[in-house]
Structure formats: structure tokens, C-alpha cells
């Protein structure tokens, strides 16, 4: 029961019927009032896995599979967060006050766009492709490119963070 739509700001949203609404519909059909939860695509994946676990009967193979899938997704997200933070710290230092997700202060140049795509390509090669959740770090890569590091230094930070795809 997934409905996709675009909100007024142009971002994709996933809307799910809430558990309570389903129960209410089953027990009180004439008074059904649909309840929606608005989620980003990154949140929708996690929400789906949590619902699978919640709906799986206790002690069943379905529950074990759902728990493993949820654990794997959470671990993947933690790994992506950790990788980006390590790359950032290797380049800017641990004590930087610069916000890695902040919007750029000035317009980007063509060279910075080329740098951005080269960084993403190298990240994908060394660390694996970012998930929908990890795509939030696109601005981080753009900010790294705008900081004036050499391409060699940036690639070295990525390769030291992820010597092998993880």
C-alpha cells in the first residue's frame, strides 16, 4: 500500500498507510479515516524493513529474515556515515567547524563539477556505491571539491578510508 507523489517543494515522498489505520478499517469499516506518514525515499526503505519485522510472527523464519535485513540496512547506513566522516576528517582535520552538509557559499565552477564526478567515481570504486540514504552526502563531495585540495590528496583520503569495497 504505497502511494508515491511529489510535494509542493518537488521532493519525492512515500506515503504509507499506518498500522492503526489498517486495524481501524478492519474493525470499523464505515468510519475509516486513512492516516498517512510522509517519508523520504531513504526513510521509506528503513520503514518498510521495520514494518516487515513488526508483522512477522514471533519465532518464525520470517522474523529472523526480517531482523537480518533490518540489521544489514542499519549497518550499511552506519558504514556510509563512518566512511564519509573519515574522508572529511582526513582532509579537513577532526576539529573543523565547517559543516560538511552546508550549502556552498558561492556558485560552483565547471572544474568543481568535474572534481565532484571524479570523487564520486573514486568513492564508488573504493567504498562501493552510495545507497539512496548515502546520497545525502553529495553536497559533502561538492564542498570537498570547493575547498581547494588536489585531486591526488582527495583520492588518497578515499583510498585510505576504503582500501577495499566494504
Give the pLDDT confidence score for residue 19 in this predicted structure.
42
Higher pLDDT, 164 or 17: 164
Domain spans of the chain? 2-60, 69-161
Average predicted confidence (pLDDT) for the chain? 78
Determine the pLDDT at residue 109.
75
SS (H, E, C) 90-147: HHHCCCCCCCCCCCCCCCCCHHHHHHHHHHHHHHHHHHCCCCCHHHHHHHHHHHHHHC
The span from the CA of 137 to the CA of 143, in Å, is: 10
Q: Which CATH number fits domain 69-161: 3.40.50.300, 1.10.132.130, 1.10.3720.10, 3.40.190.10?
A: 1.10.132.130
User: What mean pLDDT comes out for the span 147-164?
Assistant: 91
8-state DSSP, 35: -
pLDDT in tens, 102-134: 766 666 677 788 999 999 999 999 999 999 999
- Choose between 22 and 48: higher pLDDT: 48
pLDDT interval class at 10 (50, 70, 90): very low
> Which pLDDT score, from 0 to 100, does residue 15 have?
33
**Whether residue 93 has pLDDT greater than 80:** yes
Amino acid at each position: 500500500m504505497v502511494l508515491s507523489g511529489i510535494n509542493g517543494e518537488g521532493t519525492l515522498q512515500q506515503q504509507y498507510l499506518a498500522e492503526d489505520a489498517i486495524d481501524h478499517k478492519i474493525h470499523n469499516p464505515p468510519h475509516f479515516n486513512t492516516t498517512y506518514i510522509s517519508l523520504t525515499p531513504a526513510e521509506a526503505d528503513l520503514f518498510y524493513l521495520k514494518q516487515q519485522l513488526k508483522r512477522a510472527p514471533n519465532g518464525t523464519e520470517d522474523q529472523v529474515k526480517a531482523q537480518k535485513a533490518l540489521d544489514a540496512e542499519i549497518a550499511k547506513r552506519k558504514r556510509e556515515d563512518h566512511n564519509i566522516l573519515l574522508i572529511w576528517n582526513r582532509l579537513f582535520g577532526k576539529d573543523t567547524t565547517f559543516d560538511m552538509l552546508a550549502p556552498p557559499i558561492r556558485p560552483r565552477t565547471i572544474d568543481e563539477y568535474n572534481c565532484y564526478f571524479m570523487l564520486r567515481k573514486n568513492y564508488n570504486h573504493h567504498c562501493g556505491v552510495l545507497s539512496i540514504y548515502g546520497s545525502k552526502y553529495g553536497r559533502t563531495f561538492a564542498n570537498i571539491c570547493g575547498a581547494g585540495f588536489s585531486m591526488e590528496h582527495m583520492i588518497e583520503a578515499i583510498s585510505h578510508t576504503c582500501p577495499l569495497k566494504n
